[in-house]
Amino acid sequence: MRQEEKNPEQIAPSVEKFIELMKKKATKKMSREELERHVTGFIESHNMCVLATSRDDVPRATPIEYHSRGTTLYMMGEPGIKIGNIKANPQVSVGIHDPLGGDWLSTTGIQITGTAEILTWGSPEAYEALEVCHLEAMAGQISNNGTTLIRIEAKKIELMELGLKMKDYAPHQVWEAE
């Protein structure tokens, strides 16, 4: 049932809970290990993101499928603006989020700041990307059709998860590469 179809008695408790949670002061930081497990679990549980690239002060945001290993993302793309942008400026941003699922406690998203690299076909890094994407058997077909492999090394991951307040954690947590 969509929110606007609910009667006021059904909406009121969730609104009150939301207001109470918003007022709650939670500043506790997760340990590095706990935060890394949390963000990598979130990343692994999704497969679509928005990749933001830029060249000559012109930004571009591209919805794209990804696969991951830890905090490293792998993507495949056809030659185009995003590939040209990465070649000109490898500094990228990636956004991954959950759609709002009916209550504000489900509001979760991460913002990744990192460095993108175009992988060379036949390199160990390209084979690793194909392995992570479960496409090793198709390497020859993919490499011959102009597909580009992209690897993004996360430098910083910002987590925003309102539900963390229920565990007395700050809703904004930051992980940075060592």
Position 103 pLDDT exceeds 70: no
Check residue 29 and give its pLDDT: 96
Q: Which residues contact 107 (CB under 8 A, 6 or more apart)?
A: 98, 100, 160, 161, 162, 163
Q: Amino acid identity of 6? A: K
The tens digit of pLDDT for each residue in 126-157 reads 888 888 887 765 665 565 566 788 999 999 99
pLDDT per position as a tens digit, 108-131: 899 999 999 999 877 888 888 888
Q: Given the structure tokens 């009150």, which residue do they identify?
A: 16
pLDDT at 13: 52
Residues 51 and 61 sit within 8 Å (Cβ to Cβ): yes
Q: What's the pLDDT tens digit per position in 57-100? A: 999 999 999 999 999 999 988 878 999 999 999 999 999 998 87
pLDDT at 58: 96
The strand ranges marked E within 66-147 are: 67-69, 72-77, 91-97, 108-119
Give domain limits for the chain. 3-176
pLDDT at 87: 95
Residues making up the chain, counted from first to last:
178
Q: Is residue 5 over pLDDT 60?
A: no
Residue 142: the pLDDT is 60
More confident of the two residues 13 and 47:
47
Sign of the alpha-carbon torsion through 114, 119, 124, 126? positive
**SS3 (DSSP) at 48:** strand
CB atoms within 10 A of CB 95: 15
Q: Measured between alpha carbons, how far apart are the two ends of the chain, in Å?
A: 45
Determine the Cα–Cα distance for residues 128 and 125; give it in Å rounded to an integer. Answer: 5
- In this prediction, residue 15 carries a pLDDT of 74
Q: Select 3-176's CATH number: 3.40.50.2300, 3.30.2320.50, 3.30.1360.70, 2.30.110.10.
A: 2.30.110.10
